[in-house]
Amino acid sequence: MSTDIVELEEDVSDSPLYSEDLAPVPKEKRTWSMFNLAAIWVGMAVCIPTYILASYMIKSGLSWYSALMIIALANLIITVPMVLNGHAGVKYGIPFPVLGRAAFGYKGIHLASILRAIVACGWFGVQTWIGGLAFYAIWNAVMGVEGSAELDLGKFIGFALFWVVNVVFIWKGTESIKWLEDFSAPILVLIGLLLIGWGYHQGGGFNVVLDQSKQLEKPVATLVYESGIDKLVLSLNPLQNVDGTIKASHYQLTIPTTNATEQQRWMPVEKLGVPILIKQLTVNIDRDGIINGDKNIEVQFRDEGDGAYDFIYSSVVKVSVAKGDDAVGLGNSIWLYLIWLTAMVGFWATMAISIADITRFTSSQKDQVIGQFLGLPGTMIFYSFVGVFVTCAAVIGFKDVLIADDAPWDPVSLLGKFESVPLVITSQIFMIIATLSTNIAANVIAPSNAFSNLFPQKLSFRSGGILTAVVGILVCPWWVLGRIEEYLILFSGLLGPVLAIIICDYYVLRKKKLVLPDLYKKSGIYTYSNGFNIAAIVAFAVGGVLAIVGKWVPVLEPLYNLSWFTGFIVAFGIYYLMMKKNFSSD
């Protein structure tokens, strides 16, 4: 890739589209090195979602190594457009909203950049709430009190504290963000190594620990309707110790009847997978309701505690009848791989759009390419492995983990199993560092530039950042946590077409050549139709609709399952076909 840097030579400072924060970063102010780029990716990628990514895949039935292979492939795939889109940031020193003016028009880019900002603001609020809970946990540990499962004043104080910490870094600007990421990266890598060391010590070796993943792949219980014998058959899969003994001693079933439910007595667990004929347990069973999927059987396990009547209980698991399409075959396995690959690609799809916001501070293409390839795929693979390894070790290390559903799949659950106050405080401080480094880099820079681009003469990067923080409060993350992710992911699915349009425009049509001054002019070559490029709007709309419509139209569900690829490919094709005539003489 070329290392040339194009600087702004024409004075366009009087233009309403120009501001110091949106202006090209001059060569002498490009202070971010390859290490800084790698560090910022370490800071962004080390977060709770990364930790639990592979765990979710294992829960769906994939092996740990298949999960890591998908994560590795997905992040290598998304790093390619990340690097491609970062090229313009290095060459011209411009942020995403300015780069997007070339394809969308100086007004049309607001559609894409504000959509990107909405996603970031939502995640900012969620991450700030999570960081606040770490402050809350530290206070409870110091005071020796147990935290409440409900909303209370302490949680809001923790949220406010963490919000203020974020605002301090926003106020100090991009150099403080670079310092934070450089400071955080080695600490976060060290934490990962320490967690692996703990798991190795707890489990007695890598092979022993990773072998436990086979247990986590299996559902806690399976219920099938055997039509040949006209019976409902239940099989149980509680966890085993390393020596093969079953961790749970007894199980209890709650079976739906025609009028209510009937709780069975506790029965000893004898062998794994031994079929239980449900109809033999009660004559009042609502057989049709269970077969139709309207009702579920509930199962709970227990083991002996330290005292005579001190029992350890698992959570209650609801078991429904397995459908015919739950069967595992080659076609279903490939489709499952593709769905997870799409989800993993979409994980950083929003950053792929706005990566120029960061690469504009680097001085060479070599730094941004190597820095991103070192920082993104490497960190995602490493910390996903940490999550898998530590969760598997917990199966061995914690007596109260009787079933796969109760394994500490996320670091918050893991920390909750330790009683040492110094350990809890230290761990929560690390959690604060990890959450802060992710929040500032991934959820502040892009919306700050997007809001600033709305009113370049009135809103600075700092003002845009404060607006981001305020919107993060307005989404009320304490109420929507656990539900907002679905909507944010849906919004993210619309951003695949944006990336496709920008890459097609910059690489295929313009051959990486932009008229830099015209990006800041209302009457330049990027004016199009009153500031809107109709081709980009059409490509974005069609690609976006096809990417997400399958959520509501069952026949198009496969397009939704592969939403990022669907939107990217469709938008790329439409934009190219509509715009190529304008470049036929090039």
Structure confidence by residue, pLDDT tens digits, 433-472: 999 999 999 999 999 999 999 999 999 999 999 999 999 9
- Contact between 426 and 187 under an 8 Å Cβ cutoff? The reply is no
**What digits encode the pLDDT tens for the residues 130-170?**
899 999 989 988 888 877 778 889 999 999 999 999 999 99
Which single residue is written with the structure tokens 């605002």?
A: 167
Higher pLDDT, 95 or 256: 95
Q: State the Cα–Cα distance between residues 346 and 463, nearest whole angstrom.
A: 29
Nearest one of 373, 411, 324 to 41, comparing CA atoms:
373
Which CATH number is 27-203+330-583 given? 1.10.4160.10
Q: Give how far Cα 104 sits from Cα of 108, 325, 433, Å.
A: 5, 43, 37
Segment 183-238, tens digit of pLDDT: 999 999 999 999 999 999 988 899 999 999 989 888 898 888 887 777 888 889 99
Q: Per the structure block, which two tokens stand in for 227? A: 């039509």
**What amino acid is encoded at 578 in this protein?**
M
Give SS3 for 144: coil
How far is it, in rounded angstroms, from Cα 162 to Cα 204? 38
In a 3-state reduction of DSSP, which class is residue 235?
strand
Burial of 7 (0-12, 13-18, 19+ CB in 10 A): exposed
Q: Is the pTM above the cut of 0.75? A: yes
Domain boundaries, the chain: 27-203+330-583, 219-326
Question: What pLDDT does residue 482 have?
Answer: 60
Tokens, residue 541: 């709309």
- Contact (CB, 8 A) for 101 and 92: no
Q: Which residues pair with 277 in a beta bridge?
A: 233
Question: Token pair for residue 266?
Answer: 């506790």
Neighbours of 134 (CB within 10 A): 25
Residues 6+ apart with CB under 8 A from 227: none
Q: How far is CA 102 from the centre of its chain?
A: 30
Q: Is 443 in contact with 122 (CB distance < 8 Å)?
A: no
Question: What's the confidence (pLDDT) of residue 2?
Answer: 44
Angstrom CA distances, 227 to 257, 282, 313, 553, 571, stand at 20, 19, 34, 32, 48
pLDDT of 450 reads 96
Q: How far is CA 83 from CA 77, 371, 569, in A?
A: 10, 10, 18
Q: Which fold has domain 219-326?
A: Immunoglobulin-like (2.60.40)
% the chain with pLDDT above 90: 57
The token pair that represents 539 in the structure block = 């490509």
Topology alike, domains 27-203+330-583 and 219-326: no
Distances (CA, A) of 565 to 265, 345, 540, 554, 558: 51, 9, 13, 18, 11
